[in-house]
Amino acid sequence: MIEITIFTWIIAIFGAITFIPLMVVQLLMILQPNGQKTKDLIIAKGEDWRDKTHFKSILAFAWADLLVIFPLLILSTIGVFSGQLWGYMIWFALGILSVYFSIIFWIMEKEFTYPSSGWFAYYTYAWGFFLYWGLGAIILSVIQMVNY
């Protein structure tokens, strides 16, 4: 069994703070994709989808997050807090995905999201938290797997 540390708790709590609101918004995107509240939360208050590709890519990410990322996040967190190596292996994989998608969204969305959210919100919740959680999950997972 792998020992649970304060860093495990920090990554888990930070992950919950980061991913639970995302999953709520993604669920809203699936249930009401053209609703004004959905657009206000995902794009910016009063804004509309830029084009069909923008709409479809955001909808695809919503489905992928709800069908792949969220279940794996729950499963891996259960594994981590059970002291299981596989929990950290999944956290490691999710960390890589989180960094990967942070890079994609840096390129795809920064010019639109940054002006509507401002620098603080952008570099924290709108974009930064996903990068920071991913890096933290990768580092902690590697340390725990090497010491296993």
At 115 the pLDDT is 73
Query: At 106, is the pLDDT very low, low, confident or very high (cuts 50, 70, 90)?
Result: confident
Mean pLDDT of 84-97: 98
Distance CA 39, CA 35 (A): 6
Supply the pLDDT for residue 119: 77
Round to whole Å and give the CA distance between 118 and 100: 23
pTM value is 0.89
pLDDT for position 127: 79
| pLDDT value of position 45 | 76
Q: Other CB atoms closer than 10 Å to residue 25's CB: what's the count? A: 15
11-20: pLDDT as tens digits: 999 999 999 9
For residues 62 and 109, the model is more confident at 62
Whether the per-residue pLDDT at 113 is higher than 90: the answer is: no
